[in-house]
Amino acid sequence: MTNFLETVHGFKPIINNDSKLLILGTMPGNKTLENFKLTRNEDYYINFSHNHFYSTIAEIFGLDMSLLFEKSNRGYQYRKKALLDNYIALFDIYSSCKRAIGVSSDNKIKNPVPSDIKSLLIKYPNIKYVYTNGLGTYKKFMKINKDIQSDFPHIIFKGLTSTSNANNGHFDINEWENALNLIK
């Protein structure tokens, strides 16, 4: 059976001038993109309750879990404010790609168009840490940004275990806690 490819587009970054940490994903999953298409209110990064990302952020920074997972514009605004209030920015390494319809796996991405992370780091000079949400994402990011460490020697680049529920139980909250405590 042939899977038809569709072009998917990522979201604009969640970032401000106070951001110290940039967390990079690969590309929003289908569930996230479907929620966005239905609401058209905002860009709903990681709007999937089975992903450990927001529960980890909530635990580390003492946030209200019920608001984090509220599927409304109010919930999104709370998530966005919680991230920015804690100096965290979000973006993806790809701005668009082709992917089989109904498939979210990063391994199924075709023809990715890289996001311009270097320009973002120049525009927001307070970024001191760039972490990827997933070790595979880190490898892809470093492959398309070969000179980034020499271009930004004051920034620490690191891959963290994926918060995705597809990570087969390899998620390590202690690793994330140690990494995020650096910006507290």
**CATH number of 160's domain:** 3.40.470.10
What is the predicted pLDDT for the residue at 152? Answer: 98
Element (H, E) at 160: strand 156-160
Domain of residue 96 covers 5-181
Q: Are 2 and 78 in contact (CB under 8 A)?
A: no
Q: Are 54 and 79 in contact (CB under 8 A)?
A: yes
Q: Which of 138, 180, 145, 140 is nearest to 21 (CA)?
A: 180
Instruction: Report DSSP letters for 20-68, one per residue.
Output: -EEEEESS--HHHHHHHHHH-SS--TT--TTSSHHHHHHHHHT--HHHH
Per-residue pLDDT of the chain (184 residues; tens, 9 = 90+): 446 778 888 888 999 999 999 999 998 776 666 655 555 555 555 555 567 888 888 888 888 877 776 766 777 788 889 999 999 999 999 999 888 776 667 777 889 999 999 999 999 999 999 999 999 999 999 999 999 999 999 999 999 998 876 655 677 889 999 999 888 7
Q: Are 174 and 180 in contact (CB under 8 A)?
A: no
Question: CA geometry: angle at 25 spanning 22 and 27, to 5°?
Answer: 135
Total tally of structural domains belonging to the chain: 1
Q: Model-level pTM?
A: 0.87
